Amino acid sequence: MPTRSRVRPGDPAWPSAATWQKLNQDVGGRLLKPESPFARCRVTPLTAACSEALQQLTNPYFIGDQPALTQTSGWIDAWALQSSPYGVAARGTADIVAAVNFAREHNLRLVVKGGGHSYQGTSNAPDSLLVWTRHMNEVAMHEAFVARGCADMQVPQPAVTLGAGAMWSDAYNAVTTQGGRYVQGGGCATVGVAGLVQSGGFGSFSKNYGTVAAGLLEAEIVTADGKVRIANACTNADLFWGIKGGGGGSLGVVTRVTLRTRELPETFGGMFGRIKASSDDAYRVLLARIVDFYQGALFNRHWGEQIAFTSDTVNVSMVFQGLSQQQAEVTWAPLIDWVGAHKEYSFERPLKLLALPARRFWDPEYFKHHAPGVLVADDRPGSPAAHVVWAGDKEQVGWFIHSYQSAWMPASLLRKDRQSQLVDALFASTRHWDVGVHFNKGLAGAPADEIDAARNTATNPGALSAFALAIIAGSGSPTYAGLPDVISDPASARADAGRIDNAMAELMRAMPGAGSYVSESDYFQSDWQTAFWGTNYPKLAAVKKKYDPDGLFFVHHGVGSEAWSEDGFARLRR
């Protein structure tokens, strides 16, 4: 029996129109009723608004500008996008305080959205009040930042403060392209900064710079009691620790984050190509060669991103830092020579390597001239030039998930005596589905001080001794309500999900009990507390209890959510 239920529209306790109007005044007229730009397109597809919206369907900046949309459009048998009846398009901390107080006082379900990239659908909820931080995207650079109250224990260091609604494209433009420095952020340019810090967060170069959360110096956060708190190593240190990887939307609303910045290396670069094997036997041998090559040549601070293994190909999509073009070429030469010397293998796409000045890595102007099409711009009139996205990330815009699973791969699997176990698991897994191995999302091989910094966050300690995160996922085209030609075949989506289950089960044979990355994980993960946070969960639960004892903040499989019904409306136990 529920011990408490939140209020829904139509319930007698749902706020009256006048009460909503009062909130609207309190937030300077920024209360809105989110409506999907596609909502009317099935009925009236020929309007200008609909045709513009349909044209922008694969533009993540357009999707992100819509309070009613999220970057993933749903997940089979898990969640379907449903927007809130009301949302506050916050411009500052005071708007967020007003929204949090309103939700608490009226016993409403509250939902927070920044970049809208949650795969688990945790930034939308029907019958909720939405706090939308999109417009809080200011960026300020610091030459000598000291967290508040930390003057006695911290030396001033370069840093950047980002509003909660800023995206990584905003951060990289200010810090790297304009500022000539580095900040550890995410791989995908349109992910929100506050969401990623709370995820733990891995970027392309995390093998050298560690997790995003570990670079956090300070945050401002509005907690369930409506108080504006500073969280850093000296003030509210437990909350600070919880924000660093404890999962978004569970501890409060983060209004801004300050992250350390670093010196840029000379170069960043990429390596791309695809090798195909002519038979299963040859593929097994290729897998063994790749695993051994990775262990010997790439398992270090220089190399990140991923290799995707299909049933008969190895698809390399990696990045490097701090190596010249020549050093990177020398690194790969033995593998390229080996492939070339064996007739069982062919290059479906030749392995090609490009180093560039690190400062130009996110610079749209540079890419326009040197690698057109790799960075795709937000093409709407008036969009900031820095609003670009990697062409590869566009595939995920609006996608409908059939299944998504991840597991941290322990570095012990790279030992010579265990490599065959890893190869067997990869081979068996790829009989069912493609396996992505994201080397930058496991910290083994990173510098010791970066691993130590990540140890001081809520992120699952399993990430520290993993050489990679395996991701196995499948999806279909967008299913936003109102789209004229949504193709949805539930039976085939479920069949995909079954195959992905089988693929992950094969991989897990080699790494039983491996944890999973909270923000890139299975909606149906049954042991989620342990899988997402490992031994950190009890401490995280204590932080939740201290700052949000009544559970104002709820997300699916977020800390403390076990006390609530699946939809977060009924409290089941204290």
Ligand X SMILES: Cc1cc2nc3c(=O)[nH]c(=O)nc-3n(C[C@H](O)[C@H](O)[C@H](O)COP(=O)(O)OP(=O)(O)OC[C@H]3O[C@@H](n4cnc5c(N)ncnc54)[C@H](O)[C@@H]3O)c2cc1C
**Which residues contribute to the site for ligand X (CB under 6 A)?**
71-72, 112-118, 122-123, 133, 164, 186-188, 191-192, 194-196, 198-199, 201-203, 248-249, 253-254, 393, 396, 519-520, 555
**Which is nearer to ligand X, 120 or 331 (by Cβ)?**
120
Q: How far is the CB of 251 from ligand X (least distance, A)?
A: 7
Q: How far is the CB of 59 from ligand X (least distance, A)?
A: 13
Q: How far is the CB of 396 from ligand X (least distance, A)?
A: 4
DSSP state of 363: -
Q: How far apart are CA 314 and CA 311, in angstroms?
A: 9
**Which is nearer to ligand X, 67 or 114 (by Cβ)?**
114
**Which is nearer to ligand X, 132 or 433 (by Cβ)?**
132
- Burial class of 337 by CB neighbour count within 10 A (0 to 12, 13 to 18, 19+): exposed
Q: How far apart are CA 298 and CA 301, in angstroms?
A: 8
Beta bridge pairs of residue 397: none
Backbone angles phi, psi at 417, to 5 degrees: -75, -5
Q: How far is the CB of 256 from ligand X (least distance, A)?
A: 9
- 423: tokens are 């190869």
Counting other chains too, the contacts that 220-223 makes at CB distance below 8 Å and 24 or more residues apart are: 220/93, 220/254, 220/255, 220/256, 221/251, 221/252, 221/253, 221/254, 221/255, 222/93, 222/96, 222/97, 222/100, 222/252, 222/253, 222/255, 223/100, 223/251, 223/252, 223/547, 223/548
Q: How far is the CB of 554 from ligand X (least distance, A)?
A: 10
Residues 283 and 277: beta-carbon distance below 8 Å: yes
Q: How far is the CB of 334 from ligand X (least distance, A)?
A: 29
How do beta strands 74-75 and 400-410 pair?
Answer: parallel
Q: How far is the CB of 133 from ligand X (least distance, A)?
A: 5
Nearest CA to 507 out of 470, 462, 460 is that of 470
- Burial class of 214 by CB neighbour count within 10 A (0 to 12, 13 to 18, 19+): buried
Q: How far is the CB of 99 from ligand X (least distance, A)?
A: 12
Amino acid identity at 365:
E
Q: How far apart are CA 294 and CA 287, in angstroms?
A: 10
**Which is nearer to ligand X, 251 or 503 (by Cβ)?**
251
* Cβ neighbours, 10 Å, residue 452: 12
Q: How far apart are CA 167 and CA 500, in angstroms?
A: 31
Q: How far apart are CA 542 and CA 559, in angstroms?
A: 10
Q: How far is the CB of 346 from ligand X (least distance, A)?
A: 31
Q: How far is the CB of 547 from ligand X (least distance, A)?
A: 12
Q: How far is the CB of 32 from ligand X (least distance, A)?
A: 17
**Which is nearer to ligand X, 114 or 474 (by Cβ)?**
114
DSSP state of 91: S
Residues 6 or more apart from 520 whose CB is under 8 A from it? 119, 404, 406, 441, 469, 471
Look at phi and psi of residue 174 and say left if phi exceeds 0, alpha if psi is from -120 to 50, else beta.
alpha
Q: How far is the CB of 520 from ligand X (least distance, A)?
A: 6
Q: How far apart are CA 67 and CA 83, in angstroms?
A: 8
Alpha helix positions (H), 270-314 = 280-293
How do beta strands 435-438 and 128-132 pair?
Answer: unpaired
**Which is nearer to ligand X, 118 or 232 (by Cβ)?**
118
* Cβ neighbours, 10 Å, residue 102: 23
Q: How far is the CB of 277 from ligand X (least distance, A)?
A: 29
Beta bridge pairs of residue 222: 228, 253
Q: If you count them, how many residues does the chain have?
A: 574
Nearest CA to 209 out of 294, 144, 301 is that of 301
**Which is nearer to ligand X, 116 or 568 (by Cβ)?**
116
**Which is nearer to ligand X, 283 or 528 (by Cβ)?**
528
